[in-house]
Chains A and B, each alone.
Chain A
Amino acid sequence: MADNLLEIKGLKTYFYTEDGIVRALEGIDLHIEQGETLGLVGESGCGKTVTALSVLRLVPDPPGKIIEGEILFEGVNLLALSESDMRQIRGNDISMIFQDPQSALNPVFTVDNQLREVIELHQGLDKKEARQKAIEMLDLVGIPDPEARVEDYPHQFSGGMKQRVMIAMALSCNPKMLIADEPTTNLDVTVQAQVLDMINNLRKELGTTVLLITHNLGVIAEMSDHVGVMYAGRLVEYGDADTIFHAPLHPYTIALHEAVPRVTEKKQKLGVIKGVVPNLIYPPSGCRFHPRCDFSTEVCEKEQPKGEWVGDHYVECWHRREGTKL
């Protein structure tokens, strides 16, 4: 078995709001192997982004707080580090790209300025060396004429180009792990293909481990080695990509597949999941999916199902759907 770069154990992150405690993450166990891409998929509010922010300890506090659990990065518990040690990890070892490159870049500084800030801070290079490195990074992510473009402001770049700049910035310190939170959600499909292709190439070239967060099953299928499916603050299923797409065990994973229209075939009718995503201030008792599940019984209502491992495949359900073929 490959080494785990990151291991999350029993992670609970809550938000203390005026309306009550939002139980955004209710005990998550997850690991990422060295050099792989792990795709995390789920609908809005399921806790994908909170998981990423918890790893970097960027959960806004207040109202958010990591209540319990361990996040082991190369064996070191990030939750036990001091803030200044954590700063060394961010950017150097783990960096993140966000969904909206428009709001993640500062509009009043040039790209050169913003890239150099990262490089000077983390790598201790002087201004001239840092600039050289900035140009190299822009070249690496495929921005044409990087010597000239480095002097431009963010508004002079298109959406896809801005996302490339963000990726250049995130990779400029050669991190061991890159967290990409919906990196292509705002991009057009042809530009999305360019950016995904680039992330894949860089990952092979630099050996970066990637945590990819998205709601798009197509992007997950094209990019991931392993896939984690989240629902209402729990990891309900985990396995290699082929298993999750062709032999899933959890009713939610199956329902999600059936609800998505495909570009490769025309379905007669889309599958439907009854009900709505629960409010995490008052999450359902027992299995959080039970009110929407077609297979729920009394036990699902009363008790949180115990997660089970079948080889490399993890599932959290009282009534696993064995033998489902998709």
Chain B
Amino acid sequence: MNPIMEIKNLEKYFPITAGFFGRKVGDIRAVDNVSFDVLPKEILGIVGESGCGKTTLGKTILRLIEPTAGEILFEGKDVSTLGTSELKEFRKEAQMIYQDPYSSLDPRMTVYDIIGEPFDIHGELKSGEKKKVILRLMSEVGLAPFHIYRYPHEFSGGQRQRIGIARAIALKPKLIVADEPTSALDVSVQSKILNLLSDIQKEEGLTMLFITHDLSIVRHISDRVAVMYVGVVVEMGKEEQIFEKMYHPYTEALLSAAPIADPRRKRKRIILTGDVPTPANPPKGCRFHPRCRYAKENCATEIPQLRDMGDGHFVACHYPLI
């Protein structure tokens, strides 16, 4: 299958400045030399702890922030070099769902305005059709027709997230980046939103990048999973490869740390010592080596490259767990 999107050596550095003149003293390497493919109609989960660069990666892919270096090929075209009018066309194809349903909706716009705005910008609908289309989108995400002229503050968190989803799918995009869409929601609301997202993904044949820190959510929703650590992808593969026979020591530790909702299953936790390093000053060599219990000498000096272990399972480690 040809990939819908190819990420090649993508980098995003944020400068650290100091002093009155804003002299540059270093870089925060939020995304550092990341390469992977996204297949059509798959849900690719991107999982990692805070500060690992997963949100920056999602935003850079949509060019909501400019990449420092690297290529983002969407259906063969490099997104990072698009001009203004081409970029506008690309925006129709690729949309984002945000984490916080409270701050991602304009409080002065009604549901009609919010879901209708993409059509206004891209001028695709005759004015007579607009309301009909908006009502159809609303019913698709589970909002009642009488909600159409209400404002965001009149809705609960889950309903607001539904408005955000309706806005994202309005122009029938091919790709959606969903950044922690349920982390602000309660368990019973979270399950409804996750079900809605996977239904919509199937019905519309969408490709989705699902960014989250929650391992149980990523397992539930993803076809394939990429695990990030301090700006790099350390392991990538099918959902069952990552969760059942992981190769990377970080993936192993991360999974063992996730609490299991079953008191009968007591497993041995691998307790990592220390904290996640800062991407402003990442460890040399393998970024995980100071916390890795299998680390050997060359881990501190040589950067492991992401390599194919067979059957589409990639790992960046000198000594993968086999």
The A-contacting residues of B in range 126-142, CB under 8 angstroms, are none
**Does A188 have its Cβ within 8 Å of any Cβ on chain B?**
yes
Q: How many whole Å from B298's CB to the nearest CB in chain A? A: 24
Residues of B within 8 A of A256 (CB): 187-188
Interface string of B201-223 (1 = CB under 8 A from A): 00000000000010111011100
* Those of B198-250 within 8 Å (CB) of chain A: 213, 215-217, 219-221, 239-240, 243
Kindly identify which residue among B189, B213, B271 contacts A194, using a CB–CB cutoff of 8 Å.
Answer: B271
What residues of chain A lie closer than 8 Å to B194, measured between beta carbons? 261, 270
Instruction: Report how many A-B pairs have Cβ atoms within 8 Å.
Output: 125
- In the assembled complex, the CB of B147 is this many whole angstroms from the nearest CB of chain A, namely 14
Cα distance, A90 to B261, chains bound together (Å) = 32
Tell me if A160 counts as interface (CB < 8 A to partner B). yes
Return chain A residues, CB-CB under 8 Å to B188: 43, 255-256, 259, 272-273, 277
Produce 1/0 per residue, B179-197, CB < 8 A to A: 0000000111111101100
Q: Are A261 and B195 in contact (CB under 8 A)?
A: no
Chain A hits for B219, CB < 8 A: 261-263, 266
Considering the complex, give the chain B residue whose CB is closest to the CB of A161.
B275
**CB-defined contacts of B215 to chain A, threshold 8 Å:** 189, 263
Q: Which of B38-91 contact A (CB under 8 A)?
A: 49-50
Q: Which of B23-31, B169-177, B252-260, B300-308 makes up part of the contact surface?
A: B252-260
User: Among the interface residues A224, A246, A272, which one has the most CB atoms of the partner chain B within 10 A?
Assistant: A272
**Given A43-B186, A276-B156, A218 and B191 contact (CB-CB distance below 8 Å):** no
Name the contact of B260 in the complex, choosing from A188, A194, A263 (C-beta under 8 A): A263
B186 touches A192 (CB 8 A): no
Q: Do most interface residues of chain B lie in helix, strand or loop, or is the interface mixed? A: helix
> Are B216 and A190 in contact (CB-based, < 8 A)?
no
B276 within 8 A of A: yes
- Interfacial chain A residues near B275, Cβ < 8 Å: 158, 160-161, 191
Kindly specify which of B106-114, B262-270, B313-321 makes contact with the partner chain: B262-270
The distance in angstroms between the C-alpha atoms of A188 and B230, with both chains bound, is: 13
Asked if B272 is at the interface of the complex by the 8 Å CB criterion, the answer is: yes
CB of B191 within 8 A of CB of A189, answer no
- Taken together as a complex, chains A and B put the C-alpha atoms of A83 and B221 apart, in Å, by 52
- B269 shortest CB reach to chain A, Å: 5
A241 to B271, CA, bound (A): 24
Chain A 205-231, CB-CB to B under 8 Å as 1, else 0, gives 000000000011111111010000000
Does A299 count as interface, using CB distance less than 8 angstroms? no
- Shortest C-beta distance, A235 to chain B (Å), equals 18
The answer on a CB contact under 8 Å between B191 and A44 is no
Distance in Å: Cβ of A301 to nearest Cβ of chain B: 21
Query: How long is the Cα–Cα vector from A5 to B252 in the complex, in angstroms?
Result: 39
For A273, what are the chain B residues with a Cβ–Cβ distance below 8 Å? 188, 191
A190 and B261 form a contact (CB under 8 A): no
Is the beta-carbon distance between B216 and A246 smaller than 8 angstroms? Answer: no
- Decide yes or no whether A245 CB sits under 8 A from chain B: yes
B191 — which chain A residues lie within 8 A by C-beta?
259-261, 270-273
The answer to whether A263 and B243 touch across the interface, beta carbons within 8 angstroms, is yes
Contact check: which of B217, B240, B257 meets A190 at CB < 8 Å?
B257
**B216 in contact with A221 (CB, 8 Å):** no
**Complex CA distance for A76 and B121, rounded to whole angstroms:** 67
The residues in A between 157 and 174 inclusive whose CB is less than 8 angstroms from any CB of B are 158, 160-161
Q: Is the CB of A218 within 8 A of B263?
A: no
> Judging by beta carbons under 8 Å apart, are B220 and A266 in contact?
yes
Asked if B257 and A43 sit within 8 Å, CB to CB, the answer is no
Complex: how many Å from CA A246 to CA B215? 22
Report the bound CA distance from A277 to B260 in whole Å: 25
- A294 interface contact, C-beta 8 A: no
Interface centre among B192, B213, B240, B262 (most CB of A within 10 A): B262
Inter-subunit contact A221/B263 (CB<8 Å) = yes
Whole-angstrom CA separation of A43 from B188 in the bound complex: 8
Q: How far does the Cβ of B165 sit from chain A's closest Cβ, in whole Å?
A: 16
Q: Are B216 and A263 in contact (CB under 8 A)?
A: yes
Residues on A with C-beta less than 8 A from B271 are 193-194, 197
The answer on a CB contact under 8 Å between A261 and B217 is yes
Tell me the complex Cα distance, A160–B276, Å.
10
- What chain A residues lie within 8 Å of B240 (beta carbons)? 266
Interface centre among B213, B240, B265, B275 (most CB of A within 10 A): B275
Please give 8 more A-B residue pairs, beta carbons under 8 A apart, in addition to A161-B275, A194-B271, A261-B220.
A188-B213, A188-B276, A189-B258, A191-B276, A216-B259, A261-B221, A262-B220, A262-B260
User: Can you give 14 A-B contacts (C-beta < 8 A)?
Assistant: A158-B275, A188-B213, A190-B253, A194-B272, A218-B261, A245-B264, A246-B264, A255-B188, A256-B187, A256-B188, A264-B262, A267-B220, A272-B195, A276-B158
Question: What 5 A-B pairs are tightest by C-beta distance, nearest first?
Answer: A218-B259, A261-B220, A193-B257, A259-B191, A270-B191
The residues of A with any CB-CB pair to B shorter than 8 Å are 43-44, 158, 160-161, 188-194, 196-197, 215-222, 224, 241-242, 245-246, 255-257, 259-264, 266-267, 269-273, 276-277
- Listed in ascending order, the chain B residues whose CB lies under 8 Å from chain A are 49-50, 156, 158, 186-192, 194-195, 213, 215-217, 219-221, 239-240, 243, 253-266, 269, 271-272, 275-276
